[in-house]
Amino acid sequence: MTLQLGEFELIERIRRGQVVAAGSRTILGIGDDCAALALRPGEILLATTDMLMDGRHFLLDLHGAEAAGYKALGVNVSDIAAMAGLPIAALVAVALPRDRAEAVGEGLNRGVRVMADRFGIELIGGDTNAWDGPLVISVTVLGVASRQGIVTRSGARAGDAILVTGPLGGSLESGRHLRVEPRVELARQIQELAPIHAMIDISDGLVGDLGHILEESGGPGAVLEAEAIPIHEDAQRAALAGGRGALERALGDGEDFELCLTMSEAGAERVVAAFPGLRRIGWITADPRRLIRIGGRFEPWPAGGFDHLRAGCGRGGIATGAQA
């Protein structure tokens, strides 16, 4: 079956049909990096889930099961980081290819444990199946919010500075998408220094994910400054090989797993001084347009971003990236 809907339209349809009952513990449902449930006053549980498929998010034959396991847990931990939360536990469900279930299962387990140990995450359950299809891994991570509370996508306001935690672009071509570095500690350190108004982890590409912040924040616009965007050397290298330029890759490529956040300009000054890797890359505007300043010119953002239902074998498709 071909899905005519894009990923984001599909999520939006499901979200519109969601009914929140009176007395619900859900303080954040579908549509952010994590869901959030109020347990006791001051205690918020975060929950997030992500499914990774051989041929879509990794290539088992090329990358191996250990890398797939590491990434599968890492992308979920990154979603906890995007809420400034602390990951605590994970559940891992797998559909293993039957002809090599044991070897693949062991490799996955090794990769998952490396990531889990880095963040002190306990593996508390899951499900193991084997079938004649390709490897599929679904990971659910639970976390807790910081003392300061969760950071959603919806708090950006006109006048906010926009920041990113590291260089962007070219992660599919270089294989860096497999070596996820969730920014858990950094997000919490930033939040202790200055209130974060909105935050998201960059999985769909900077313009796509900053676009999610704008949509969830009631439709302000943004101006990005081309010269301030940190371009990863992977993007430079990929650009030299042809196709899209390095800036375009930094703006549109997916799976960097850096954080994009907004806060007051005063807060941004403080955090940029404290954390050298952080870059202020633009600002939020009341004007709903999405612009990028290149030299003296203002241009609309290039179309881009990574829609997982639409991305096929073309740009953004991992199968192409990894084979290139």
Which residues bind to Mg ion, rule: CB under 5 A?
Answer: 33, 79, 201
Task: Find the shortest distance in angstroms from Cβ 213 to Mg ion.
Answer: 11
Task: Find the shortest distance in angstroms from Cβ 32 to Mg ion.
Answer: 8
Task: Find the shortest distance in angstroms from Cβ 167 to Mg ion.
Answer: 18
Rg over CA atoms, the chain? 19
Nearer to Mg ion, 78 or 109 (CB): 78
Distance between CA atoms of residues 162 and 261, nearest Å: 6
Q: Are strands 221-225 and 290-294 parallel, antiparallel or unpaired?
A: parallel
Q: Which of 199, 216, 187, 177 is nearest to 308 (CA)?
A: 177
Alpha carbons within 13 A on the beta-carbon side of 70: 20
Distance between CA atoms of residues 97 and 138, nearest Å: 14
Which residue has the closest beta carbon to Mg ion? 33
Nearer to Mg ion, 79 or 248 (CB): 79
Residues 6+ apart with CB under 8 A from 142: 45, 46, 47, 87, 88, 89, 90
Nearer to Mg ion, 79 or 234 (CB): 79
DSSP string over 42-65: TEEEEEEEEEEEBTTTB-HHHH-H
Task: Find the shortest distance in angstroms from Cβ 294 to Mg ion.
Answer: 28
Nearer to Mg ion, 48 or 109 (CB): 48
* Neighbouring-strand partners of residue 66: none
Nearer to Mg ion, 248 or 256 (CB): 256
Task: Find the shortest distance in angstroms from Cβ 305 to Mg ion.
Answer: 13
Task: Find the shortest distance in angstroms from Cβ 322 to Mg ion.
Answer: 22
Task: Find the shortest distance in angstroms from Cβ 33 to Mg ion.
Answer: 4
Q: In which region does residue 41 sit, left (phi positive, over 0), alpha (psi from -120 to 50) or beta (all else)?
A: beta
* Neighbouring-strand partners of residue 108: none
Nearer to Mg ion, 60 or 82 (CB): 82
Nearer to Mg ion, 45 or 81 (CB): 81
The two three-digit tokens of residue 303, written as one number: 């179309």
